[in-house]
């Protein structure tokens, strides 16, 4: 209990720093959310239980075209609906309430005291989610990771280099201190993992994509062997390693020629914590998404809690 009390004190101090940051943490409507729309003095226009379609749109009486609700706050959508009705009614008072939240779920697994899935009713930072999981367990390592969903949020700009942003790592100590660079807002579908030890990940065109604990030095060729070896049609001269630069969230790509290593023309590369080894096919197709797909199935068995 003493450990948790100390953790709680650190969290309170860190959250007080985060509260001073001006970033917008209002919840933004997403696909699947259910809305109640109230229009003052116009009960015939008011609607209960309006579900936001997968396209992000809703429909309202008298308005011929669909209204985009996704990515708007309740107030922003209310203003948009009032504007659409301006041709029929002036200064219409509209209120929008989110009745059910379905679009934003995240999970936290690994060496935490309570693994769970969470339905977010507002934007939440990494540190706050960690508090909802009652902090790191006694077995927690020094790193906390976020595996981002391959299904992009409609409210988030897509990075041209998706693979470099599919996985983020932070020092646990920096997260606990509330360092803004190590305390990002979480996005829909994110899976936070807190491993017990440093790890590397091997995905792509291997027989058994897996996570490998770095309890001892491991080279690239050994990691490939532990993953069952390469499948046919592997582009052996274009093995990619995504490596996070120490102290930053920036990932650099290292291209390795496995043929050169096998022929002793190049040194076998020693792997660093949180390296992602991505083995492409000869056609150049990447399988980095299997990193998310390998973690996601177990998450579905976790209990769901609500973050109000």
- Separation CA 73–CA 25 (nearest Å): 10
Nearest to 257 by CA among 266, 244, 247: 266
Q: Which residue has the tokens 């960690």?
A: 130
CATH number belonging to the domain at 34-100, selected among 3.90.650.10, 3.40.50.300, 3.30.1950.10, 3.40.640.10: 3.30.1950.10
What pLDDT is recorded for position 223? 95
Give ranges for CATH 3.30.1950.10 in the chain: 34-100
Nearest to 131 by CA among 302, 2, 7, 3: 7
What pLDDT is recorded for position 23? 52
What pLDDT is recorded for position 283? 66
Residue count of the chain, please give it: 308
**CATH superfamily placement of domain 104-196+296-307:** Outer membrane lipoprotein wza domain like (3.10.560.10)
What CATH topology corresponds to 199-288?
Outer membrane lipoprotein wza fold like (3.10.560)
What pLDDT is recorded for position 75? 95
Grouping H, G, I as helix, E, B as strand and the rest as coil, residue 233 is: coil
Using only C-alpha atoms, the chain has a radius of gyration, in whole angstroms, of 23
What pLDDT is recorded for position 11? 47
Give ranges for CATH 3.10.560.10 in the chain: 104-196+296-307, 199-288
DSSP structural state of residue 86: G
Phi, psi of 62 (to 5 degrees): 75, -20
What pLDDT is recorded for position 139? 87
What pLDDT is recorded for position 249? 67
Grouping H, G, I as helix, E, B as strand and the rest as coil, residue 237 is: helix
Residues with Cβ < 8 Å from 95, sequence gap 6 or more?
37, 38, 39, 40, 74, 78
What pLDDT is recorded for position 9? 44
| Tokens, residue 181 | 């660079």
Taking only the tens of pLDDT, the chain with its 308 residues reads 444 445 554 444 444 544 444 456 678 898 889 999 999 999 999 999 999 998 899 999 999 999 999 999 999 999 999 999 999 998 899 999 999 888 788 999 999 999 999 988 888 999 999 999 999 998 888 889 998 876 655 676 555 455 555 778 898 999 999 899 999 999 888 999 998 888 899 988 899 988 888 888 999 999 999 999 998 888 899 999 988 876 666 778 999 999 999 999 999 999 998 899 999 887 666 655 566 555 665 677 788 788 87
- Separation CA 165–CA 156 (nearest Å): 12
Nearest to 45 by CA among 94, 100, 79, 91: 94
What pLDDT is recorded for position 92? 92
């Amino acid at each position: 209990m003493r450990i948790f009390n100390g953790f709680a004190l650190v969290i309170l101090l860190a959250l007080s720093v985060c509260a001073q940051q001006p970033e917008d943490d209002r919840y933004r409507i997403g696909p699947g959310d259910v809305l109640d729309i109230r229009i003052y003095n116009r009960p015939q226009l008011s609607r209960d239980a309006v579900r936001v379609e997968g396209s992000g749109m809703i429909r309202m009486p008298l308005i011929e075209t669909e209204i985009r609700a996704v990515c708007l706050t309740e107030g922003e959508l209310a203003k948009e609906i009032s504007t659409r009705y301006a041709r029929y009614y002036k200064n219409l008072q509209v209120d929008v309430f989110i009745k059910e939240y379905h679009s934003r779920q995240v999970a936290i697994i690994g060496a935490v005291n309570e693994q769970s899935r969470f339905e977010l009713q507002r934007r939440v930072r990494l540190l706050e989610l960690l508090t909802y999981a009652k902090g790191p367990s006694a077995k927690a390592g020094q790193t906390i990771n976020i595996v981002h969903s391959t299904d992009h949020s409609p409210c988030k700009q897509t990075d041209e280099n998706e693979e470099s942003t599919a996985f983020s790592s932070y020092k646990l100590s920096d997260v606990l201190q509330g360092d803004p660079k190590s305390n990002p807002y979480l996005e829909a579908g994110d899976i936070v993992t807190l491993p017990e030890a440093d790890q590397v990940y091997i995905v792509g065109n291997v027989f058994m994509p897996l996570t490998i604990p770095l309890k001892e030095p491991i080279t690239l060729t050994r990691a490939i062997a532990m993953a069952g070896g390469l499948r046919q049609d592997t582009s052996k001269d274009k093995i990619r390693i995504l490596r996070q630069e120490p102290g930053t969230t920036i990932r650099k790509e290292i291209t390795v020629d496995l043929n050169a290593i096998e022929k002793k023309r190049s040194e076998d590369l020693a792997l660093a914590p949180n390296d992602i080894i991505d083995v492409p096919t000869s056609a150049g197709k990447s399988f980095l998404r299997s990193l998310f797909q390998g973690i996601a199935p177990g998450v579905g068995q976790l209990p769901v809690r609500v973050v109000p």
